[in-house]
């Protein structure tokens, strides 16, 4: 082998190493997972309701899959899949019963949030056109579209979430529409452009008559010299504006201090200038992003804001933790944190039976890492345990797609081969989860598998080792050739 040929091999291996490493990086640079929405069944708001469920039929009409990204100019109206829950109710009592039911159908999935207002409009249009809604004995009935606060990254809890449905404005022990709010705005200067660790902090004494909220808060430090004092902080950059809200009794002075990092131990030679102080009421804050053009009732939005504020105090009472990734931001926008419900009334005579159907949008999770992509659906069956009795459950999945996986065993293809069905006596002990795809056997690409991650981790090391061996061999070849000559 000539020296020139050996050098060429070394160059090819080096190029292959670079390409391999770059491909691994690119394979993980795009988002491949999108969260969907769980759908629980209808539940009675009234306690001690004697009505029983003689049977429930769930029909999933999955005629299409949603796009992974609609964007601001997307067309959510092009997606039409729904779930229909039909309940066969019986009032076994010897007296008339009127009950109010609530059917939660989830928050908007994250792949539709960019098209939030257009999606809301589409859903309302379908509601008016009869595409979704509530029917009793074949006749569509009036319903109220309700909303409650739903914190990100948690599961539906029937007791907790149902309790948030209020008939009017919630009466909270601290928050009220006329609660005074003071907004402080600071402008930062003197922080180096390449300083990404700098933070601005505010020392706050915990007390009962006031709460503090730092927009896009990144950290919280307890003061060692006084356990009743904390430092709330967020990232700082020159020219940036920082907004702080104090709910209730405002302090005479709210000093801002610049620190080297989030530990808030060493101060930084920089400045935070107080450029504005505004006096507001909590109603001004609560309704900042609400409009009567939306589908959200005004008191539902207000109640959701109060619930959000209370939820954000989970780490420290008196500190409203509005973080960059799970907060409402400077616009106090709750749009992505609202659980949507159909609320309606049913009236029974003594011993009367009613057939009640609810049709709601169906939003799956999306996994584009599989080839072809897979779509996961979840329907929460456990809330039905609230009924005094529940006898049978029949599930139908009408779809041209393949049922890849289900946590409930026993699904059988329909005669028309356009779907699957399962019948159960009573409620199962788990929720309903199933996965659909255009193929019966979607596969995980090599780089997305565990073996692929191991390969991605060690391939560059092996490549470098091989490159080193080739370089040594090249120099030995050159040295040997010179010695012979």
Tens-digit pLDDT profile for residues 19-59? 333 333 333 334 444 555 666 677 677 667 889 999 999 99
What phi and psi values does residue 413 have, to the nearest 5 degrees?
A: -65, 145
Of 379, 473, 455, the C-alpha closest to 424 is 379
Scored b (16 or more CB within 10 A) or e, 204-240 reads bebeeebbbbbbebbbbbeeeeeeeebbbbbbbbeee
Name the pairing type of β-strands 256-259 and 199-205: antiparallel
- Beta strand 271-281 with 353-361 is unpaired
Compute the residue count for the chain: 485
| Alpha carbons 482 and 4: distance in angstroms, whole number | 15
Average pLDDT over residues 255-264: 94
Half-sphere exposure of 482 (CA within 13 A, CB side): 6
Distance CA 437, CA 292 (A): 40
Closest CA to 57 of 415, 362, 422: 422
d(CA 12, CA 235): 45
- The pTM is what? 0.79
The helix or strand, by DSSP H or E, that contains position 119, with its residue range, turns out to be helix 116-129
Q: Which residue has the tokens 């053009």?
A: 293
Does an H or E element contain 159, and which?
A: helix 158-162
Report whether 402 contacts 371 (CB < 8 A): no
Q: How far is CA 82 from each of CA 61, 134, 390, rounded to the nearest angstrom?
A: 5, 13, 24
Per-residue pLDDT band at 181 (split at 50, 70, 90)? very high
Distance CA 257, CA 199 (A): 8
What is the spatial distance between Cα 212 and Cα 255, in angstroms, rounded to a whole number? 13
Predicted confidence band at 460 (pLDDT cuts at 50, 70, 90)? low
Q: The tokens 């391999």 sit on which residue?
A: 20
The model's pLDDT over 3-13, given as tens digits with 9 standing for 90+, comes to 455 444 444 44
Give the rounded percent of residues in the chain with a pLDDT score beyond 70. 80
pLDDT at position 119: 76
**Nearest residue to 373 (alpha-carbon basis) of 448, 458, 461, 457:** 448
For the chain, how far is it from start to end, CA to CA, in angstroms?
Answer: 17
Tell me if 409 sits within 8 A of 350, measured CB to CB.
no
Q: Decide if 382 contacts 433 (C-beta within 8 A).
A: no
Structure tokens at 259: 């620190």
Residue range 404-459, pLDDT digits in tens: 999 999 999 987 668 999 999 988 888 899 999 999 999 987 555 455 545 555 65
pLDDT in tens, 313-365: 866 778 998 887 678 888 999 988 999 999 999 999 999 999 999 999 888 99
Q: Is the Cβ–Cβ distance between 111 and 66 less than 8 Å?
A: yes
Q: Is 221 strand, coil or helix?
A: strand
What local confidence, expressed as pLDDT, does residue 31 receive?
42
């Amino acid at each position: 082998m000539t020296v020139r040929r050996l050098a060429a091999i070394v160059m090819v291996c080096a190029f292959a190493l670079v390409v391999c490493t770059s491909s691994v990086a690119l394979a993980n640079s795009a988002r491949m997972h999108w969260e969907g929405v769980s759908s629980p069944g209808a539940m009675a708001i009234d306690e001690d309701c004697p009505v029983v469920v003689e049977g429930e039929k769930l029909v999933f009409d999955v005629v299409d899959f949603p796009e992974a990204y609609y964007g601001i100019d997307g067309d959510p109206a092009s997606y039409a899949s729904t779930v229909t829950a039909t309940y066969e109710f019986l009032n076994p009592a010897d007296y008339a019963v009127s009950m109010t039911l609530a059917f939660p159908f989830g928050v908007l999935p994250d792949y539709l949030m960019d098209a939030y207002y257009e999606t809301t409009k589409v859903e309302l249009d379908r509601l008016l056109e009869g595409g979704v809604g509530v029917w009793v004995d074949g006749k569509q009935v009036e319903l109220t579209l309700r909303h409650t606060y739903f914190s990100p990254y948690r599961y539906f809890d029937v007791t907790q979430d149902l309790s948030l449905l209020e008939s009017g404005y919630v009466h909270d022990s601290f928050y009220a529409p006329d609660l005074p709010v003071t907004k402080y705005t600071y402008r930062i200067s003197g922080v180096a452009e390449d300083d990404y660790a700098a933070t601005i902090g505010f020392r706050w004494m915990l007390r009962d008559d006031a709460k503090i909220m730092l927009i896009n808060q990144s950290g919280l430090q307890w003061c060692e010299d006084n356990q009743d004092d904390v430092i709330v902080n967020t990232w700082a950059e020159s020219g940036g504006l920082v907004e702080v809200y104090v709910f209730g009794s405002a302090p005479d002075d709210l000093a801002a201090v610049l620190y080297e990092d989030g530990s808030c131990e060493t101060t930084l030679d920089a400045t935070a200038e107080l450029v504005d102080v505004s006096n507001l009421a909590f109603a001004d804050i609560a309704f900042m992003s609400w409009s009567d053009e939306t589908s959200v009732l005004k008191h539902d939005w207000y109640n959701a804001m109060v619930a959000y504020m209370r939820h954000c105090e989970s780490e420290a009472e008196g500190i409203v933790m509005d973080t960059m990734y799970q907060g409402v931001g400077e616009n106090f926008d709750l749009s992505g944190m609202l659980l949507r419900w159909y609320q309606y009334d049913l009236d029974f005579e003594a011993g009367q039976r009613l057939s009640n159907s609810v049709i709601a949008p169906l939003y799956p999770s999306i996994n584009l890492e599989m080839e072809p992509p897979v779509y996961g659906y979840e329907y929460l069956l456990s809330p039905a345990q609230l009924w005094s009795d529940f006898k049978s459950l029949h599930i139908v999945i009408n779809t041209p797609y393949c049922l890849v996986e289900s946590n409930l065993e026993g699904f059988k293809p329909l005669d028309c081969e356009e779907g699957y069905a399962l019948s159960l006596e009573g409620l199962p002990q788990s929720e309903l989860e199933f996965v659909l795809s255009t193929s019966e056997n979607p596969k995980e690409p090599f780089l997305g598998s565990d073996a692929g991650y191991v390969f991605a981790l060690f391939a560059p090391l092996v490549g470098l080792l091989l490159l080193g061996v080739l370089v040594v061999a090249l120099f030995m070849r050159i040295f040997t050739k010179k010695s012979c000559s």
